Homo-oligomer: A and B are copies of this chain.
Amino acid sequence: MTPRRRATLRDIAAALDLSVNTVSRALAGKDAVSPDTRERVQAEADRLGYVPNSMARSLVLRNAMTIGLVITNPSNPFYARLISAIEERGRVHGYSLMLMVTEDSVENERRVAEELMRWGVDGVLAVPVQHGTEHWERLRKSGTPVVLVNRDLPGLDADLVGVDYFESARRATGVLLDGGARELCLIEEDLDISPVAERIRGFHAALGEHGLDEAAGTVTRVPTRRRESSSQPWDPIDSYAIGRDLARRIGPGSAVLAGNDYFALGVYRAFSEQGLSIPGDVAVAGHGDHPFAAYLDPPLTTVRLPAGRVGATAVDLLLERMSGPDAAGGAEAAERGPQRALLPAEVVVRASTMGER
């Protein structure tokens, strides 16, 4: 209510007839202060409702105690969980989070990277839009470490923390094949982002291992729905269309692997409308283990993604880089080049792939 000026060190100093410096040290808990002074300073600070000014502090210390998080779309449940995990782990280490949303637009991403530079964040965690590495390069050249999350960005040799989608798709496909499927369809959205590329590889690898040739597996692309804004949630509508299409063509012994549980959902609906039973006629598996997956009818086999671990690992790696070679020039013997951590994902087998044939 009273929009009074915030109290500063100077106010405390003046009230106690001390120097600003002494007050600063007292409050910072440094040693060169008499117990008595410390107490008086503390008391006066409380009385005045003193709150340190992080900006001023950061300006002189040349660290922002802030990390930037660049995300394409918070409505993607995986990213939502990532945000939580990162915020949490960051806070544990005293870092605040500056969140930027790109909505998968390189243009936005460039703006956002610039903004992050201006603020001088200490490090950046980014789910990169494809195409366009210069802005990340600039950031790094200016001394700000960048760790990619979930998606790789060819052309930028930065650290990466993600999920082992190759393996997850390989194993999920294996489950479908073990169930007897001989004609498989992988449904994905943007084919050119790295997680999808990896899943496609894993998909084919599994086919090969089971003695099928590539023709047994087709990859279908869900049209990228340029959402008006990422505050519009995902929509299974497009995969529903694909499912209808699929339903007409496929016969028994077919299976669908979706790169996203939402896609699986659209397929569910299409199949049920067309009178195809899951898993009787077609087995279906997804990716993400979104909260609804276990509650569908039938419960959906899906890949559970380690969002929490990815977030925590990414923060840890970033922190390491922030105090690493560039900054300290210290023990840089150990890990030079970019690190890449691909965490394992678990296939959760449920009824949608457990048909008896």
Q: Which residue numbers of A lie inside 8 Å of B, CB to CB?
A: 1-4, 6, 49, 51-56, 58-59, 64, 66, 69, 73-75, 77, 80-85, 87-88, 91, 96-101, 103, 111, 114-115, 117-120, 138, 140-143, 229-236, 240, 262, 265-266, 268-269, 272, 290-292, 294-297, 307-308, 311, 326-327
Contact = CB atoms under 8 A, between A and B. Distances in A.
A81 B292 contact: no
A78 to B, nearest CB: 9
A58 B59 CA distance: 10
Given A82-B231, A233-B290, A98 B101 contact: no
A268 B296 CA distance: 9
A294 B80 CA distance: 21
Contacts of A56: 59
Count copies of this chain in the complex. 2
Given A81-B231, A231-B81, A87 B100 contact: yes
Contacts of A85: 229, 231
A286 B156 CA distance: 45
Given A143-B3, A231-B311, A268-B295, A98 B100 contact: no
Contacts of A118: 51-54
A77 to B, nearest CB: 6
A141 B230 contact: no
12 contacts: A4-B143, A53-B120, A55-B120, A56-B59, A77-B80, A83-B101, A87-B101, A96-B119, A97-B99, A233-B291, A234-B291, A236-B292
